[in-house]
Structure 1
Amino acid sequence: MSTPKAGADGDERGVDDAVRALLLLMPRMVGRVKRIPLPEALRSFDLAPRHLSLLSYLLFDGPMTVNELAGRLEVAPTTVSLMVGELNRQGILERREDEADRRRRIIAIAPDQQPAIAGWLAPGAAAWRTALTPLTPEQRRMFVDTLLAYEAAVTADGR
């Protein structure tokens, strides 16, 4: 940060201080998240970060179709279908017919895996609730938008 550029409000020092704080904070946060132990019941499965997002949606929002999951995960339905097939074969997820349209399949966490997955994801959800609850809805939206902008900027840099 040898040559700071002034922002619209001329507060380049404040931006640099925030960037410095985040550059120090992010590795600690990532390190802590990586150290969250996988519950014993899930250790025999080959779960990857892509599975975490899928399982989070199903845990917090309930059963849904492959197309609904694909829309939320912002990936192609074929990608979700492959993940669901893999997790279904391992007994983590279950597929059932949609009573309203028998051509569609509803995806859900297998009941016997629900407690382990909830236990695995609950501490992170509780920490986010603690951090976000004091904020106004507008502040929460700004926080999420800022993280999304950071992700887009890092992605644009090819990282």
Structure 2
Amino acid sequence: MPRMVGRVKRLGVPAELRDFSLAPRHLSLFSYLLFDGPLSVNELAARLEIAPATVSLMIGDLSRQGILRRDPDPTDRRRTIVSIDPAHRPAIDSWLARGARAWRRALSPLTPAERALVIRTFQAYEDGLDASD
């Protein structure tokens, strides 16, 4: 597990994004927006398991740089919907595609039951990290 996490952290930031001071912590945020589509700040905070204020600061910084967009929710103008700016979507997609392909290759030969076991194992590992000793 540490070796795998280390490899992910070493994924190089695409040349088109190098001037933006991006870090591995942005990968999860970009992953949710890329794979799940535009989300509200609160939805992102819940998925990232960090405070909405922290997510809001990160989104504010990335939107000032033009990487993310913040638009009013058309159904509720009080909410803000966050998305990847179309100009940067291809670079972010290519940055994350290698990991997505690796997971697809690793999981595709497994049966649905075996895939479920992998997911449960990761969840048990995560739960074990949260458990107090």
TM bucket normalised to smaller: 0.7 to 0.9
- The more displaced of 129-138 and 51-60 is 129-138
2:59 aligns to what? 84
- Name the amino acid aligned to 1:119: S
2:95 aligns to what? 120
Matched-pair identity in %: 63
> How many equivalent residue pairs?
133
2:80 aligns to what? 105
Counterparts of 1:1-159 in structure 2 under 5 Å? 26-154=1-129, 156=131
Q: Secondary structure at the match of 2:80?
A: strand
- Write out the 4+ residue segments of structure 1 that deviate beyond 6 Å after TM superposition: none
- Higher relative contact order (Cα pairs below 8 Å, separated by 6+ residues): 2
Partner Cα distance (1:118, 1:125) in 2: 10
Change (3 A) 1:48 1:152: farther
Q: Is the 8 A contact 2:72 2:81 kept in 1?
A: yes
Change (3 A) 1:27 1:65: closer
Which segments of 5 or more consecutive residues in structure 1 lack a partner in the other structure?
Answer: 1-25
Partner Cα distance (1:75, 1:121) in 2: 21
Partner Cα distance (2:117, 2:40) in 1: 30
Normalising by structure 2, report the TM-score: 0.88
Normalising by structure 1, report the TM-score: 0.74
Which segments of 5 or more consecutive residues in structure 2 lack a partner in the other structure?
Answer: none
Q: Secondary structure at the match of 1:117?
A: helix
Q: Is the 8 A contact 2:44 2:55 kept in 1?
A: yes
